[in-house]
Amino acid sequence: MTVKTIFFDIDGTIYDEDKQIPSSTREAIAELKRRGHNVAIATGRAPYMFKELREELGIDSYVSLNGQYVVFEGKVVYSNALDTELLKELTLFAEKHDHPVGYIDDVDMKVSVAEHEYITTSIGTLKLAFPTHDAEYFLQNPIYQALVFCQPESQEMYAAAYPAFNFVRWHPLCMDVLPGNGSKAEGIAEMMKALGVQKEDIYAFGDGLNDLEMLSFVGHGIAMGNAEEEAKAAARYVTKHVSEDGILEGLKMVGLL
């Protein structure tokens, strides 16, 4: 049997809309591991945001922060921080438009203002602790992903002003800010070097706009039934909704279970 590597996004893929893991997903991942396959996570979240999930599922390899911080079997194999001076310029630009900025490294997240409706609404959907205020956090720490809290119509303005950054929306009131070459696909490519494997032995499940590059890059991209239409178009397969045994059905579809 050829060992395969399967990457799973978290929100909308492992987690359902209530941030719970369907029992069929839990059992399917355990069975993959029993069969000797490599199971990894590929997420926009920072490592500290899914530590309990990793422990619960017994996963110690992951592509986090949309590809900017990659860990293989507990060891960091790749990191790609945002340029500090450019991030400083972006922060000043965002302040002029009353758009808060978030700064995320591997251990924490800080925000540029103490309170803002956009932060409360968007971060609240992740069911995480509210980030604390530290407007200078990015000056003392490597930031692998930033956030700009703004409405969708502002995204093109930022993309035009800062072409060196990649802006990916994950919520109506918030978008990720990545290095221009940053994506889950880049992170997976770095993981592949550590594994010494080819694309044809790589599978990935996802549902969001930050999964597009990943789903089209791997040998077998599987979009969830609840995925964005762009994600479905980028994938090789489309499985059922996360709450309808989507992971289990997808693994059966591609012959892994």
Joined tokens for residue 34: 């029993």
Look up residue 234 and give its two tokens. 């980028």
What contacts 167, CB < 8 A, 6 or more positions away? Answer: 148, 155, 158, 159, 175, 176, 177, 178
Q: How far apart are CA 37 and CA 234, in angstroms?
A: 24
CA angle 76, 79, 85 (to 5 degrees): 150
Catalytic residue among 9, 11, 105, 176: 9
Long-range own/partner contacts, residues 16-21 (CB < 8 A, 24 or more apart):
16/242, 16/243, 17/242, 17/243, 19/126, 19/127, 21/53, 21/56, 21/57
Instruction: Give the amino acid at 178.
Output: L
Per DSSP, the three-state class of 46 is coil
The DSSP element (H or E) to which 1 belongs, if any, is none
Could you tell me the CA-to-CA distances from 161 to 86, 96, 155, 176, 181 in Å, in that order? 11, 13, 10, 15, 17
Distance between CA atoms of 124 and 211, rounded to whole angstroms?
21
9 part of the active site:
yes
Pairing of strands 38-42, 109-111: unpaired
Nearest Cα residue to 69 out of 82, 55, 80 = 80
- 8-state DSSP, 152: G
Residues identified as active-site: 9
